[in-house]
Structure formats: C-alpha cells, structure tokens
Homo-oligomer: A and B are copies of this chain.
Amino acid sequence: MSNLPTIGAEDIHIIPQTIEISLIPKTEFDRIWASKIDLFEQLNLIADMCRANTLAGVKRAGSGHLGSSLSAMDIVVWLYYHVMNTVQIGLTDPDRDIYFSSKGHDVPGLYAVLFSLGIIPTDKFLKLRRLGGLDGHPDVGIPGIEANSGSLGMGISKGKGMAWAKRLKGLPSRVFVLTGDGEWQEGQNYEALQTAAHQHIGNLTVIVDNNKVQSDKLVSEIINIGDLEAKFAAFGWQVARCDGHDFAALAQVFEDFANIHDRPKILIADTIKGRGVSFMEHPFALANNGGLYPWHAGAPDDEAFTAAYREVLLRINERLQEAGLEPVTLESVSPEPKTTSTVSDEYVTKAYGEALVEIGAKRKDLVVLDADLAIDCKIREFEAAYPARFVENGIAEQDMVSMAAGIASQGLLPVVNSFASFLAARANEQIYNATTEKRKIIYGCNFAGLIPAGPGRSHQSIRDISLFGALPNMVIVQPGNATETRLMVDYAINQTSESVMIRLAIGPSPRLIALPIDYQCQVGRGAILRDGADAVLFAYGPVMLHEALLSSDILAIRGIRLKVVNMAWLNRVDDEWLMVTVAECPAIYVLDDHAPIGGLGDFLLNALVRLNLLERKSFHKFAIEGLPACGTPAQALDYHRLSGNLLAEDIAKRELPHETAPF
C-alpha cells in the first residue's frame, strides 16, 4: 500500500464503482447474535462485520468517511447491542434510549450498525449519498437517525435538550451522544458542558471518540485540545477514560456511570482512527503518508478497498472458526446504474489557492487563516510558502473571524477560509462585528451551493449570500472558472477597500467555462457567454453556468435563443451594463445556486425595478426551493429542476406557453 490514493479531507469526488462489492446480510448478524459464544466475542464479530459493510457502502457510494466510522464502530455496536433499549422497544417509543453522533461524518459506520439490526433495509443501505437513500451526514428522515449533524459542536446541546425533555416527561430512558476529538475545538461544546452541569442533566452521557486525528492531521498539531480529563472535570462532569475498542473496559465504565444521576457523564474513549484495517489505522497511516492521514474521507480505490475488505473478512472468519461457527456468507451487490455527470479537471479552488500564493509574494501584509479545511480550501500551498503568515485555527470559525478582525486592526489583510455553510452561518455575528469596525477581511467561502450534494444538508450552502447580503461594505462574488477566480482574488486583495466574500464551488467544474477573450474584471459587469435575444439567463459559478449553457443549447434546437450571462458579482451591478444586457430580451431569468430568497435574483430584481427595466418584460428566478437534496450532482440538480434539461423545459414552457408537444 505504498502508493496511497490522494484523497481530500472532504469527499468531493464520486469515484465510480468498478469492482464487485458484497454485503454481509442481516441474517448473518442474527446468526452471530443468536449463537452461544461470549458476549464480547459476539460484539467483536458484529463490529468487524459492520466494518466490512461500511467499507462496501462507502466504496459503492464512491465517497464517505471511513476513518472515524471505523474508530467509533465498537462504541456504536456496544450501545445498540448491549446498552440501549432502542431496538427492543422500537424507534417510535418516546421512552427509547437515544444515540446520535455529533460529528456525523462517521454515519456510514452507524448505517452499517442500523442495517445489521434491520432498521435500515438493504436497498436503502446501498444508496449511500444517493437521492432517496442515505445522506452523507445524518438526517432524521432516515430510519434510526435521531439528529442532524455534520456541522460540528451542536450534539451535546441537542442531546441535553432531549435528556431535559425526558426528565420533564418523567421518562427513565437516556441519551448518548458521540463527539469527535477535533470537534472539541468548537466553543459550543463548552457552553453545553457548562449548562448541562448546571442543569444537572444526569440522563446524558457523552462519549468522545478520541481517535487523535482530524481532517488530515493530528489534533495535537492542528489545535491541541489538551488534558481532556482535567477540562471535563473542571466543568463539573463525571469523567471516565478507557480503551474505546475494549468491550470489557466499556462495560466497566457504563456500569460505573449507571450509578450516577446528579450530573452528566463523559467518557473519553481512546480509539484508533481507521481501526480494523491495518493500513488505515492512524499510527501506520500517518507514518506512511508523511504525517497526513489519507482515510478521513473519500472512497478507497479498488486496490485499497480489496485489501481492506479481504483483511477484515479474513479476521471475521478466523474468529468464527475459533468460536466453532461457520464462515460468514456474503451477498453480492449488483452494480449501480451509470450516471452521466460531466466533470472537467478544472477547480476554481485550486486557482484560488494559487492566486493567494502568487499575490502573497508581493503583499507581505497578506495573512491566511484556516479552520481545519486547508486541503479542501487549497491553502496548504500558502502555508508551505509563507508559514509565518498562515494561521491554523482549528474547527473554531467564530474565533477565526474575530481573530482576523484583530489582525486587520493592526494593518494586515486577513483571508479567512472555511466551507461557506460553516463560515457564513456559524461566524455570522463575528463577521457583522468586524464589519462595524470597518475592518477589511476577505472571506473564502468554499463548498458553496448545491453541488456536491453527497455530503448532505449540513454542508450544502444555499443561504450564504443572504447571510452576507445585508452587511454594508461587503462585496459578494462567485467566479465561474479558474481565470476569473484569479482576477477576483486580485480584485479582492488589491483593488478594493471593501471586504469581499468569495464564493467558491469546491468540486471539479463540470466543464471549463470559456470567458470572452477580452474579459476583464469590472465591478458589476458580467460576461455574455452565449448570445440570444429571446430571453436572458443570469447565472454564476461553474456548476450552474454549465447547466445554463446546456439549457441554452437545448432551447436553441427549439428555436429559442437564450442569452447566457456569467454574473460573478452577486451584489454589485453596473447600471448601464445591465440596461444594455437586458435591452433586447423580453424575458429575464436568474439561476440562483442558492435559496430563492436573498441571492442574485433578488439583487438583480431590485436593480431592474430601480432602473425601470422591467416594463414589458417578465422576470423569473430559478433557485433551490426547500431544503437541498442529497445525491449525485445529476440527482440533486434534477430534483430541484435546475439541470440543463429541466431548465430548458421550464423556460420553453414560459416562452412557448401554447406549445403542448412534450419536450
């Protein structure tokens, strides 16, 4: 395994399934559970069988989080198979015990456990990160899932609410919340520690999956969370610590905890990230990959998957043989139908990272801050080039933004980075506060928009424009390709005194968006990508521009000439340019990679009305209605009727209302 695949910290690719995949069916779990062997040996077997199914599920999905699914597995199996009443009394009984994971990305492992218990059926288990299947992060719409997570640090608070409600209702059942260890960089955890202790939430138990590694580096390297036992004790919790892979040790801790009712309890479970697959276990994987952990997210390639699956199966069968039981029976899984999403090799994030490095050579005042997503946000290159001007701040977006405001107050120019959904929402008040100080800060909002849709609602950022929109002196842009990204980064750093929010698609662009040869970065002026006089469609970002161009191609066949405009300026417009751009088009459309409220559509609508340009013209927004769908890009775009095909269909219906022929 010397040639490990390079996998990003967040799984933004889908690697298509190319080899055969098998599952261990529920009946096999029933067989082991019904056998007369020792409980801990049963649980060891079941955990490993769930590990095998987790590997299969993630491989089939083409993406997902393996490392912490494997580290948390023994704890989850212990809770569901031995501690909780949930399976016995059923998922709708108000007096059921509740388990959920606050970090949430370990959910492929939880799905495997729920599958083993018959709570998630086979067909659903095989649809990880697919529409109508299992979301990439937990969603309560899925059987057995008790809380939505994926954005970090909310779990203890939520578990506290559940436990408080149980107490109010006089129900004796309990709540168990799993957290990560890196997750303890989020401040909300400490709010919850404090309030739960004060409120004497004795029916709440928190387990820290202390696997030592976050996205790609050791927690102690990113932001050390220090002596957890001392911390938790100082917050008034009952603290225990044990090996999180040792069922006997877990049994002892839970027995001790059962006698404590006057305060909340927390177990620091020392675990190994990637537990159960030798080359995914973090001590080995870090040593063999230059100190970076490659199995946090993303599916293994065929070679790695085959080796991992073989190793786990071998161990299961050896144990079964030792216990005098038959080897495990596998069920082969039919391959997934092919999907047709186009993908190029262009990344706007890559251009973003490169531009920061390039400009950083001249601008010695440029400082880049990270919230443990440096690989995804492509800022590790800046870190390598200018280590003194790079701040790793861990998973603490609020602290990062306020720190940036402090840095800006001293005459430096900070660029803060995270995923759009975390940065725009979690740190919103801190961003406002910096704005009231008139500090110039650049906000790199990665992973903006509907796509990739596999990770689910916690990660899909469809409100960020609205969250930045009402801030004065804040320019919001989203570049459509790498060239435009470089221009926009230069604009943000060198050409404006205002703060700039740069919205970036994080996945590979579906195609290279070709800009006009003479394209320049001019505030409030978009670029016409395809001309047409029947209607104009404003769009932005590589994902939606691709769909817009596709719809224009399709409509051209129907004789509808749809002008497509790349409007990278989401809250600035040049009046004259707008006038000319919409002049000949009787219909104006906006394609928002955003909720229908507060995006480009609303901004342009205001400008059009202000300039009196809507007279005898129609206006319509296409946007992401409701909650964003989880699935492949094609599935999510179709679901929201924003794929090129469906856009064309809906525009044709509006342009040719009397034609009844099927599209």
Interface centre among A158, A367, A409, A471 (most CB of B within 10 A): A158
Contact partner of A410 among B169, B223, B422, CB < 8 A?
A: B169
* Per-residue contact bits, chain A 338-367, to B (CB 8 Å; 1 contact, 0 not): 000000000000000000000000000001
Residue A249 is within 8 A (CB to CB) of chain B in the complex = no
Residue A310 is within 8 A (CB to CB) of chain B in the complex = no
* Per-residue contact bits, chain A 213-255, to B (CB 8 Å; 1 contact, 0 not): 0000000000111110011011110000000000000000000
Residue A94 is within 8 A (CB to CB) of chain B in the complex = yes
Contact partner of A614 among B199, B412, B614, B627, CB < 8 A?
A: B614
Residue A159 is within 8 A (CB to CB) of chain B in the complex = yes
Q: Known: A411-B94, A605-B609. Contact between A406 and B191, CB under 8 A?
A: no
Contact across chains for A398 and B598 when beta carbons are under 8 A apart: no
**Residues in B neighbouring A230, C-beta threshold 8 A:** 230, 233-234
Q: Which of A270-278, A458-466, A525-533, A578-586 contacts B (4 or more CB under 8 A)?
A: A458-466
Q: Which of A43-51, A123-131, A144-152, A552-560 contacts B (4 or more CB under 8 A)?
A: A144-152
Which residues from 161 to 193 on chain A have a C-beta closer than 8 Å to any C-beta of chain B?
Answer: 161-166, 168-169, 185-192
Contact across chains for A148 and B598 when beta carbons are under 8 A apart: no
Which residues from 618 to 640 on chain A have a C-beta closer than 8 Å to any C-beta of chain B?
Answer: 619, 625-627
Q: How far does the alpha carbon of A471 sit from the alpha carbon of B466 in the complex, in Å? A: 10
Contact partner of A438 among B140, B169, B236, B426, CB < 8 A?
A: B140
Contact partner of A140 among B140, B437, B467, B571, CB < 8 A?
A: B437
Contact across chains for B597 and A161 when beta carbons are under 8 A apart: no
Contact partner of A404 among B161, B430, B619, B627, CB < 8 A?
A: B161
> How far in angstroms is the closest Cβ of chain B from A582?
14
Q: How far does the alpha carbon of A403 sit from the alpha carbon of B166 in the complex, in Å? A: 13
Residue A31 is within 8 A (CB to CB) of chain B in the complex = no
Which residues from 398 to 449 on chain A have a C-beta closer than 8 Å to any C-beta of chain B?
Answer: 398-412, 414, 421-422, 425-426, 428-430, 432-433, 435-438
Q: How far does the alpha carbon of A236 sit from the alpha carbon of B430 in the complex, in Å? A: 25
Chain multiplicity (copies): 2
Q: How far does the alpha carbon of A54 sit from the alpha carbon of B149 in the complex, in Å? A: 47
Contact across chains for A609 and B598 when beta carbons are under 8 A apart: no
Residue A381 is within 8 A (CB to CB) of chain B in the complex = no
Q: How far does the alpha carbon of A7 sit from the alpha carbon of B193 in the complex, in Å? A: 32
Interface centre among A148, A199, A404, A615 (most CB of B within 10 A): A148
Residue A541 is within 8 A (CB to CB) of chain B in the complex = no
> How far in angstroms is the closest Cβ of chain B from A355?
22
Contact across chains for A194 and B147 when beta carbons are under 8 A apart: no
List the 6 shortest-distance A-B pairs measured between CB atoms, nearest first: A161-B406, A187-B187, A157-B402, A165-B410, A425-B429, A190-B190
| 25 A–B contacts from the bound complex (CB under 8 Å) | A94-B411, A140-B409, A147-B409, A147-B437, A148-B433, A153-B187, A154-B402, A154-B430, A160-B399, A161-B403, A162-B409, A163-B406, A165-B367, A166-B410, A185-B194, A185-B195, A187-B188, A187-B189, A190-B190, A198-B394, A234-B234, A422-B429, A425-B432, A428-B428, A609-B619
* Apart from the given pairs A168-B388, A230-B233, 15 other A-B contacts in the complex at a CB distance below 8 Å: A148-B433, A151-B429, A161-B410, A164-B391, A165-B409, A165-B412, A168-B367, A185-B191, A188-B402, A195-B399, A198-B224, A231-B235, A605-B605, A609-B619, A615-B615
